[in-house]
Structure 1
Amino acid sequence: MKAPPFPTAQNSDHTVLLLHGLSSSPLEMRFLARFLADEGFATHTPELTGYSAGTGHQPMEQWINAAVAQFDALAAQYRHVSVCGLSMGATLAAAVVQRRPAARALLLLSITLDYDGWAIPWYLFMFDCLYYTPLRSRYRYREHEPYGLRNEALRAKIARAMQKNEISEVGPASISMAALHEARRLAASMRNTLKGITADCLIVHAIDDETSSPHNARFVESNVEASFLRTIWLDDSYHMITSDNEREVVARECALFLRESEATSAASSNPTPVVSRALARRLRQLATVAGKA
């Protein structure tokens, strides 16, 4: 479960565990990791056995266990550990925080609890049935345009990369039926347990997401029990918001939210009474009278 050599801040007490999308690679999180490092956060972008591209197949319970193990290793080194995920990685991030409520913050980018976007083929619902047939080991769902990208120049670049390789900076060229089956299991389990999440929560979602519709973000918004919750809607991106037109907006909002979460934590640890000016003046008057008595 190695992490790629992306830049990370030195001497930081706050690290962010970054989880990429299904059957993909940490390259999806590269821009965000670099931005957060520049903002003073340590970052960790691991490959997870059975979940990341080229690491074999494991049931979704093993995905969660692997990600939780990464969180625990970071928690032993850093004061604050936040978890951020993209697409199915966001769903996995929510599963980690549900099991590790000590997480400082949870950042959900294009969370996918249901594959219900406008570019998803109508027959996807049949995959769970086909999984129990001999097709399970042979069929792969091939990615197609727009590849999660509204940016046409980047989309053309990714299309060429998909023809040459099985993996690109925005994800795999194809996904196995077994991986999709486990992803749908993970999403179903999280839909029922979101109310157990109390960590500070940021949701960032594109209104034109072609893979997971805005319903996914609204469902999370309505069901998590975070006391500090913020939802950001994007209008110039598709699903891959860490690479698309508004990637700088996404990175900036993530850094801002993490800073505010830190500040909230510090304030709760050292509460300062809020006193109005009128009350403060009255208290001083009373103290003066008492001193003369």
Structure 2
Amino acid sequence: MIQNADFKFAGDRRGVLLIHGLTGTPAEMLLLGKRLHREGFTVHGVQLAGHCGDEADLLATSWRDWYASVEQAAERLRGDVDHLFVAGLSMGALLALLLAAERPELVDGVGVLGATFRYDGWNMPRIARLSFMLPLIKSLGFARKRVFMEEAPYGLRDERIRGHVSSAMQSGDSALAGLPGNPWHSLADLHMLSTHVRRRLERVRAPCLVAHAAEDDVANVRNAYLVVSHVKAPVELLLLHDSYHMITLDRERRLLADRLTGFFARVAGAGADSQPVLATSS
């Protein structure tokens, strides 16, 4: 049964829509949401269709359903604010980019956090690296019950936080820590989403802050450089050297939150005609 796990914080006329990753939950965006709200932003952590339930709930949805969750939430939030920003983690980063590409009138800026076009990090097994085969497997109806189980370090360099997340995942509370594994058919949809977004990156014109772990265990940093090199928008690149994939929860979560909050504040304050300077930070 799907639980309601989204969160909302009322603030000023600057809104931020936060998007979690595949098999994840809004909880992985909560600390970031609280930091943004302390600076006055109105924040909504959206819950993607099929998430915060069991594997059957997730498998009943596709990437188009996940994107529809984002688009509908953005439309609602945009009616309450003068500036709308969107930030996503992992697959959520792809959905954020897709919204900016497809609905530019809605989006004033994008936080691209640990973008995952491919599972090519140093801790990924062969099946994850061969994800391009999964859409064919899904189309043939094979392997519906197969699951790619996550393994330590679970995208977290901080051992204390890793322990908390691992315990929550094994407890079965999918609204708190998400599912412990990724169904193959859902990974197939992620691959289809990835292809769809890559073909539309040049449509992204809203300023982007691209943040990625330099030693990402799930998605190699080349995923971040793909965004930097293809979007037709001003970009700031933040490389994090003491985190793994889950950068909203890991050791540099405060640095990330500060940088993203400042980035959105500058864009909102500068107005539509001003553009941030391309920058690389370490």
Scaled to the shorter chain, the TM-score interval is 0.7 to 0.9
Q: Does 1:108 align with 2:87?
A: no
Write out aligned runs for 1:32-181 (5 A).
32-50=32-50, 52-54=51-53, 55-56=57-58, 57-102=60-105, 103-124=107-128, 125=130, 126-132=133-139, 135-165=142-172, 167=174, 169=176, 171-181=178-188
**Any conservation in 2 of the 1:162–1:168 contact (CA below 8 Å)?**
no
Q: Does 1:215 align with 2:215?
A: no
Q: 2:259 aligns with which of 229, 253, 264?
A: 253
CA distance in 2, matches of 1:267, 1:140: 47
**Any conservation in 1 of the 2:169–2:177 contact (CA below 8 Å)?**
no
Shift of 1:71: 0.8
**Counterpart AA for 1:84:** A
Question: Cα deviations across residues 81-132 of structure 1 (Å, max 9, x unaligned)?
Answer: 1110000000011111111112110100001111111111012215344334
CA distance in 2, matches of 1:167, 1:89: 17
CA distance in 1, matches of 2:183, 2:94: 18
Question: Aligned to 1:45, what secondary structure does the other structure show?
Answer: strand
**Counterpart AA for 1:257:** F
Shift of 1:257: 0.2
CA distance in 2, matches of 1:26, 1:245: 19
CA distance in 2, matches of 1:267, 1:127: 43
Q: 1:262 aligns with which of 230, 255, 268?
A: 268
Question: Cα deviations across residues 162-189 of structure 1 (Å, max 9, x unaligned)?
Answer: 3322537554211211211111100111
CA shift in 2, pair 1:234/1:24, >3 Å: same
CA shift in 2, pair 1:162/1:96, >3 Å: same
Question: Cα deviations across residues 49-75 of structure 1 (Å, max 9, x unaligned)?
Answer: 23x232442221222222111111111
CA distance in 1, matches of 2:182, 2:150: 8
In the other structure, the counterpart of 1:224 is: 231
In structure 2, list runs of 5 or more residues that go unmatched: 275-282
**In terms of Rg, which structure is larger?**
1
CA distance in 2, matches of 1:106, 1:3: 23
CA shift in 2, pair 1:168/1:144, >3 Å: farther
Shift of 1:255: 0.4
**Any conservation in 1 of the 2:104–2:205 contact (CA below 8 Å)?**
yes
CA distance in 1, matches of 2:171, 2:269: 46
CA distance in 2, matches of 1:215, 1:264: 30
In the other structure, the counterpart of 2:280 is: none
**Counterpart AA for 1:46:** V
Question: Cα deviations across residues 194-218 of structure 1 (Å, max 9, x unaligned)?
Answer: 0000001110000000111010000
CA distance in 1, matches of 2:143, 2:43: 36
Question: Cα deviations across residues 125-158 of structure 1 (Å, max 9, x unaligned)?
Answer: 1534433455432111111100000001221222
Question: Cα deviations across residues 17-68 of structure 1 (Å, max 9, x unaligned)?
Answer: 0000112210000100101000110100121223x23244222122222211
Question: Aligned to 1:136, what secondary structure does the other structure show?
Answer: coil
CA distance in 2, matches of 1:76, 1:168: 28
In the alignment of these two chains, the number of paired residues is: 264
Question: Cα deviations across residues 254-278 of structure 1 (Å, max 9, x unaligned)?
Answer: 101001111221665xxxxxxxxxx
In the other structure, the counterpart of 1:206 is: 213
More displaced, 150-159 or 102-111?
Answer: 150-159
Provide the TM-score with structure 1 as the length reference.
Answer: 0.84
Moved over 6 A (4+): none
Question: Aligned to 1:64, what secondary structure does the other structure show?
Answer: helix
**Counterpart AA for 2:250:** D
Provide the TM-score with structure 2 as the length reference.
Answer: 0.87
CA distance in 2, matches of 1:147, 1:70: 28
Q: CA RMSD in A?
A: 2.0
